[in-house]
Amino acid sequence: MITHVEFTLTGPAHGRPFAADATYQATGQPQPVVVFLHGFKGFKDWGHFGLLADFFAEQGFVFVKLNLSHNGVVVGGTGDLEDLEAFGHNNFCLELDDLGQLLDALHTPGATPLPPTLLDLKRLYLIGHSRGGGIVLLKAGEDPRVRAVATWAAVADLHPRWPAEILADWQRAGVLHVPNVRTGQQLPLYYQLAENYFAHLPRLDLPSRLPRLRQPLLLVHGEPDETVPLTAAYQLKNQKPDAELLILSDAPHNFGGAHPWLAAQLPGPARAAAERTAAFFAGLA
């Protein structure tokens, strides 16, 4: 029987609450833990992510997913992007710190409603989708508690590579708006995002940090990815040659999913990514 548990954390630096949940089978035995991180414009309950949680639980993992504190989702709100001001003040260090806080909570008895005896934290794995893939790579590089990493359609760099004129206009105006095609919203990005990147370059420069990553790495990418080109996967592979690369011939950026996702089964490309990732993690035990 699959169990779902929800809980809330609050960032000590920014004071903003953010939600997480765990899905598992109560077998009475310690189980490896997978933490899943969404990408830009994403959130933990997007599309088919709930079915992903069930899939990994059925494979014997505790599957934990979280909303980043400034992803625009409000605890107790609609479940979709609604706090655009928070979204605009998000940055890469906030995302790394939110993920780190969740990892700390999993290692602290009583910080989550999960029984400590449930969690085999010597087998702690990260999965990140899109921009979340870049974040989990950086987090694994700075947190040796992470045993291995898988990225799905990950970016190869967090560098905000806007053209010089757009960057200058952004700095002058203080805000840049990007469309959310799904909802029709104009999402603000305050210039602090670029400032945060350049101020913390030693921490955030993925191309320079990835070659030093010690954990095993699986890179999953779709050949027809319309958002993050397949070349990003090859760049990551070049920076960490011992990484395993899986290219899916039929996987768009969201691995066949959409929001809302009304089917009872995972989309085919998402299931293929999940099956290979579960096998990759299990093979490290």
pTM to 2 decimals?
0.98
pLDDT tens, position by position, 58-67: 999 999 999 9
Cβ-proximal residues to 257 (8 Å cutoff; 6+ apart), any chain: 46, 47, 48, 49, 267, 270
**In this structure, are strands 62-66 and 17-25 parallel, antiparallel, or unpaired?**
antiparallel
Angle among Cα 97, 84, 184 to the nearest 5 degrees reads: 125
* CA proximity to 46, closest of 76, 67, 16, 75: 67
Please tell me the CATH superfamily of domain 2-158+204-278, with its number. Answer: Alpha/Beta hydrolase fold, catalytic domain (3.40.50.1820)
pLDDT at 285: 65
271 burial class (0-12, 13-18, 19+ CB within 10 angstroms)?
middle
Q: What is the C-alpha to C-alpha distance for residues 8 and 73, in angstroms, rounded to an integer?
A: 13
Domain segments of the chain as ranges: 2-158+204-278
pLDDT tens, position by position, 166-216: 999 999 999 999 999 999 999 999 999 999 999 999 999 999 999 999 999
User: Does the CA dihedral 263-264-268-270 come out positive or negative?
Assistant: positive
Whole-angstrom CA distances from 66 to 16, 22, 52, 95, 183 are: 14, 9, 13, 11, 21
Q: How far is residue 200 CA from its own chain's centroid?
A: 20
Helices (H), 73-230: 84-88, 92-106, 131-142, 164-173, 192-199, 201-204, 206-209
pLDDT at 210: 98
Cβ-proximal residues to 57 (8 Å cutoff; 6+ apart), any chain: 2, 23, 24, 25, 63
230 burial class (0-12, 13-18, 19+ CB within 10 angstroms)?
middle
pLDDT tens, position by position, 32-55: 999 999 999 999 999 999 999 999
